[in-house]
């Protein structure tokens, strides 16, 4: 089955840029989605289809995907961005949806 | 406003059964694929199952295949998850989520979840 690998944690100072990676075999051939989850809350879609943003998501959130790595970039990080972030793809070969293990973003 | 509201969670002994429901509103329910995703305490998100718009096609994660059954009643705008032969490792918050109808089919709306606890 398809595996997505994320770093367990990323730390960043307020106002700086955070980059969260998601590794997978030829992930560049898949559409990657990113979800933000704060404690006790349901996940929220922040980036879909590699780099598109749902309405209401700040432009500070952006995504890219190429080769074996997809990246969620959060610019001008704010304290309110502190959360767990998950990448996701649809594995067409198995018709299964796959999540990465999640990355805890800490704002210092 | 799109809303998904799960119910039916609770405490059940190993080997027992439970049926979860997900009531949808604010969109044309029958035209969307809907998924179940679970999250064990302190752990990450895990995809469980999905069903297409008219209920004719379903799929399951290997960990629940043969034990869980997803279904829907489009007349009632409701999704179900019948869970049988429950195990301790099925303990989790269960979310229903709507998939977008285009692109990579991301999950654009989620419910708040319902907690299932399997323990003796």
Q: Which two tokens stand for residue B78?
A: 């409701």
> Secondary structure of chain B: what % helix, strand, coil (to 5)?
5, 50, 45
Q: How far apart are CA A43 and CA B108, in angstroms?
A: 10
- Please check whether residue B26 is in contact with residue B2, taking contact to mean a CB–CB distance below 8 angstroms: yes
Mean pLDDT value across residues A72-99: 96
How high is the pLDDT of residue B101?
85
Contacts of A32 in chain B (CB under 8 A): 104
How high is the pLDDT of residue B115?
98
Contacts of A1 in chain B (CB under 8 A): 62
What confidence tier does B102 reach under pLDDT thresholds 50, 70, 90?
A: confident
Question: Measuring CA to CA, which residue among B91, B25, B36 is closest to residue B60?
Answer: B36
What confidence tier does B29 reach under pLDDT thresholds 50, 70, 90?
A: very high
Helical (H) or strand (E) element with B90: none
- The pLDDT of residue A15 is above 90: yes
Minimal Cβ distance to A42: which of B44, B106, B111: B111
What confidence tier does A1 reach under pLDDT thresholds 50, 70, 90?
A: confident
Task: Quickly count: other Cβ atoms within 10 Å of residue B66's Cβ.
Answer: 9
Q: Which two tokens stand for residue A12?
A: 């960043």
Looking at chain A, which runs of residues are DSSP E strands? 9-12, 18-23, 33-37, 44-47, 61-66, 69-74, 83-91, 96-99, 103-107
- Yes or no, beta carbons of B104 and A37 under 8 Å apart: no
Mean pLDDT value across residues B8-34: 98
How high is the pLDDT of residue B119?
97
SS3 label, residue B18: strand
- The pLDDT of residue A106 is above 90: yes
Contacts of A49 in chain B (CB under 8 A): 103-104, 106
Q: How far apart are CA B111 and CA A93, in angstroms?
A: 28
Q: Which two tokens stand for residue B2?
A: 């799109």
What confidence tier does B44 reach under pLDDT thresholds 50, 70, 90?
A: very high
Q: Is A2 on the interface with B (CB under 8 A)?
A: no
How high is the pLDDT of residue B103?
80
- The pLDDT of residue B104 is above 90: no
What confidence tier does B89 reach under pLDDT thresholds 50, 70, 90?
A: very high
- Please check whether residue B87 is in contact with residue B118, taking contact to mean a CB–CB distance below 8 angstroms: yes
CA of B5 to nearest chain A CA: how many angstroms apart?
Answer: 11
């Amino acid at each position: 089955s398809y595996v997505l690998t994320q770093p367990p944690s990323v730390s960043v100072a307020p106002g700086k840029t955070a980059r969260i990676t998601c590794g997978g075999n030829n992930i560049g051939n898949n559409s990657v989605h990113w979800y933000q989850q704060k404690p006790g809350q349901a996940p929220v879609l922040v980036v879909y289809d590699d780099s598109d943003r749902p309405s209401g998501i700040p432009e500070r959130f952006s995504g890219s995907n190429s080769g074996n790595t997809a990246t969620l970039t959060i610019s001008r990080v704010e304290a309110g961005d502190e959360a767990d972030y998950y990448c996701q793809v649809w594995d067409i070969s198995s018709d299964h949806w796959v999540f990465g293990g999640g990355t805890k973003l800490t704002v210092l | 406003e799109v809303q998904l509201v799960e119910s039916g969670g609770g405490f059940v002994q190993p080997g027992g059964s439970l049926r979860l429901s997900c009531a949808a509103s604010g969109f044309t329910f029958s035209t969307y694929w809907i998924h179940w995703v679970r999250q064990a305490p302190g752990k990450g998100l895990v995809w469980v199952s999905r069903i297409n718009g008219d209920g004719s096609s379903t799929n399951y994660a290997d960990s629940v295949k043969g034990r869980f059954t997803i279904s829907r009643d489009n007349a009632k705008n409701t999704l179900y998850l019948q869970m049988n032969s429950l195990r301790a490792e099925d303990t989790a918050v269960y979310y229903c989520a709507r998939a977008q109808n285009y692109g990579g089919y991301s999950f654009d709306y989620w419910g708040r979840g319902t907690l299932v606890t399997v323990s003796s």
